Structure 1
Amino acid sequence: MPLLARTVTTPLAIEVRRGAVAELGSMLADRRISGGGDVAVVVGPGQGDRIAELVRPGLGNADVFHTAGGTLDAAVELGDQLRGRSYDAVIGIGGGRTIDTTKYAATRFGIPMVTVATSLANDGIASPTASLTHGGRHNSYGVHIPIAVIVDLDFVENGPDRQTQAGIGDALSNLNAVADWELAHRERGEPIDGLAVTLSRSSAEALVNHPGKITDDGFLTTLAEALIMGGLASAVHGTTRPVSGGCHEISHALDALYPDLASHGEQCGLGALFCTYLRGERERLAQLVTSMRRHGLATTPADLGLTDAQFAEAVAYAPSTRPDRYTVLEHLALSPAEIDARLEGYRDALRDLAG
């Protein structure tokens, strides 16, 4: 009887702990990624330079490049710089913009890429996409997943709490993305990938049920793992469907209508709450609201500096951001008046949960 299976591409190494950065050179050698330290180290603003100096003793032949990151032009420029020498790997050190810029540049020229994350703001640390600005718009580009992912909790702890809160919102929104995917499966027969669902949902479940705070190593480790598993879920399925539903459509709409309002993760978290309410999942809504309130995330439009009318406008606009995706927003196809009424019901539900 033939054995049917599929090959899943995953990083060779994933390390989430304190002190991991100082041992980066040893890890690269042990995993046969780079025995002699012939790597390119890409750093962004913030803690990048400090980490580059920390890893330099173990990477004697490394070249260090600086990037402001976040744009397609910066990624292309970095790629051109990397062509000057043959590297075993390129190491992106920093936050989401630096990581995405490095992922794109490394993919363009076929160089293995290692993520060294200094923050936990989104699942880009291990995802097969790079979010870059081009022509004044945020676009997602397909890239290779990192060959290794390093998260040193010492550096995460020293970063702004708001970055960690954004990561919580992004990870918890996976629960909504999976629910939207299952809705599309029931209503339209859209194929669903059980492995991708398992990776996305189980890691988010571990996070939503975790009793710790953003200052606890145990909680930060669970958050890092949830973001990494979300990225791997996208890699397994080949699209962002396991981690992107109506929550992300609302976030994209907010980006278009109110640029620089809040982080992607904060917006996705709020979008996930509203979409969960729209599906009538009261128990899940209560679970998400409790978790997000505990960690200081936005649960109402006002928490993000929006009026209800502005948020309603974003909800109405949201389906046009991903016309190929079917979520609860497309399923209900609410009119502006109906959105207003659902928002009023959402406010009532939050008051009930607070009481």
Structure 2
Amino acid sequence: MEMREHIISLPERIFIGNGIISRIDEYFSELGLTGPFLIVTGSNVRRLIVSKILDKIPADVIEVQEANLDEVRKVEEFAKKHESNVILGVGGGKAIDVAKFSAFELNKRFVSIPTAPSHDGITSPFAAIKGLGKPISMKAKEPTAIIADIDVLSSAPRRLINAGIGDTVGKIVAVRDWRLAAKLRGEYYGDYTASLALLSARHALNCTKIINKDLKYGVRLLVEALISSGVAMGMAGSTRPASGSEHLFAHAVEMLYPEGPLHGELVGVGTIMMAYIHGIKWKEIRKALIRIGAPVTAKQLGVPDEIIIKALTIAHTIRPERYTILGDRGLTWASAEKVARNTGVIT
């Protein structure tokens, strides 16, 4: 096998702990990060979190509503005007994605400060930005540092925490799809990277047994799983270890039903169905999601049955260059309906 150049982008430092947001000035000093600083945050992010950061470091603040190209351009113009040197993403997926993509475009340092453990974008050097022509993740800036305050993250709405578990469990299917593509298409496959992604998924499954009894410990376990998943993507140089047919299904629903469920909720349900097609432990995955109160049916998702079936039939077209268990032709309507019914997603 020919060994081509492979570039690995990883965070310089990851800080995890209770109440650590108040030490942000120490961390920045340690890393040699100097201003001007720009905080990119969402309109729903609790002001208390941003104010705690501003108590420690001087920074400009800009709010974003969506993770789209218009918001990216807005942030870039603001950053240029204020000569921002470091861009901080403070919030959920949208704010962090806009911050890291803006940092990539401007070639600035990026710091990830998540306020909800809803997906693995807190670590990965990829961002889901609408308006780039594809409903997929694009190359973005890897974080110089991640500051994961467990007090902040565990106070996020439980639905967002559950979505993070759903997103992380999906790595079980993503790695299977990646291995299949390597076998049938000769695609690059990294054993260590795949193992790291699977470890994240196992931690997420364990999290479903703990989080109802000990929220903070469960959230810490989840955050570490999300971080290792993001690191796996950085090592692979693509989203392959963390995104397979389960994500293609989620993206298909998001296209057909834009105001629908959270991304991680769709990934969780997609994982059940794709695990069924792969012939792996779909019932165990379903039970784990039920245990934490995450949706496992179309009704619980608030999505019509026909949207679920339609999404299954078009999922393979979302990223035609990415081979998965869905193959080149995808599922017929009858096959899709059978998969959804046999896994209890529709009744």
Give, in whole Å, the separation in 2 of the partners of 1:331 and 1:303: 30
Residue identity opposite 1:166 in structure 2: A
Cα distance, 1:299 vs. partner?
A: 1.5
Partner of 2:38: 40
| Secondary structure, aligned partner of 2:65 | coil
1:19 aligns with 2:19: yes
Partner of 1:30: 30
1:193 aligns with 2:187: no
Partner of 1:252: 251
- Whether the 8 Å CA contact 2:37–2:88 is kept in 1: the answer is yes
Give, in whole Å, the separation in 2 of the partners of 1:226 and 1:64: 29
Cα distance, 1:66 vs. partner?
A: 2.9
When structure 1 is superposed on structure 2, of 204-213 and 134-143 the one drifting more is 134-143
Pick from 294, 299, 323: which aligns with 2:320? 323
Structure 1 residues 21 and 315: alpha-carbon distance in aligned structure 2, compared to 1, 3 A threshold: same
Structure 1 residues 30 and 285: alpha-carbon distance in aligned structure 2, compared to 1, 3 A threshold: same
1:184 aligns with 2:181: yes
Partner of 1:234: 233
Residue identity opposite 2:44 in structure 1: G
Cα distance, 1:137 vs. partner?
A: 7.1
Cα distance, 1:175 vs. partner?
A: 1.0
Structure 1 residues 343 and 39: alpha-carbon distance in aligned structure 2, compared to 1, 3 A threshold: closer
TM-score, L = length of structure 2: 0.91
Residue identity opposite 1:46 in structure 2: N
| Secondary structure, aligned partner of 2:170 | helix
Partner of 1:100: 97
Residue identity opposite 1:233 in structure 2: A
| Secondary structure, aligned partner of 1:130 | strand
Give, in whole Å, the separation in 1 of the partners of 2:339 and 2:286: 17
Give, in whole Å, the separation in 1 of the partners of 2:93 and 2:247: 17
Cα distance, 1:240 vs. partner?
A: 0.9
Structure 1 residues 54 and 274: alpha-carbon distance in aligned structure 2, compared to 1, 3 A threshold: same
TM-score, L = length of structure 1: 0.89
- Whether the 8 Å CA contact 1:196–1:236 is kept in 2: the answer is yes
Give, in whole Å, the separation in 1 of the partners of 2:113 and 2:340: 40
Cα distance, 1:268 vs. partner?
A: 0.7
Gaps of 5+ in 1: none
Residue identity opposite 1:262 in structure 2: P
Gaps of 5+ in 2: none
Structure possessing the higher radius of gyration over alpha carbons:
1
- Whether the 8 Å CA contact 2:180–2:324 is kept in 1: the answer is yes
Give, in whole Å, the separation in 2 of the partners of 1:341 and 1:271: 14
- Superposition CA RMSD, Å: 2.4
When structure 1 is superposed on structure 2, of 200-209 and 84-93 the one drifting more is 84-93
Instruction: Report Cα offsets for 1:161-209 as digits up to 9, x if no partner.
Output: 1111111111110111001112222333332112221221112112212
Equivalent residue pairs, number: 342
Partner of 1:134: 131
Give, in whole Å, the separation in 2 of the partners of 1:204 and 1:177: 10
- Whether the 8 Å CA contact 1:89–1:114 is kept in 2: the answer is yes
Match runs of 1:24-173 below 5 Å: 24-34=24-34, 38-59=36-57, 61-134=58-131, 138-173=135-170
- Whether the 8 Å CA contact 2:8–2:237 is kept in 1: the answer is no
Structure 1 residues 109 and 334: alpha-carbon distance in aligned structure 2, compared to 1, 3 A threshold: closer
Cα distance, 1:39 vs. partner?
A: 1.8
Instruction: Report Cα offsets for 1:77-129 as digits up to 9, x if no partner.
Output: 11111112444412121111111111111111111010111011111111111
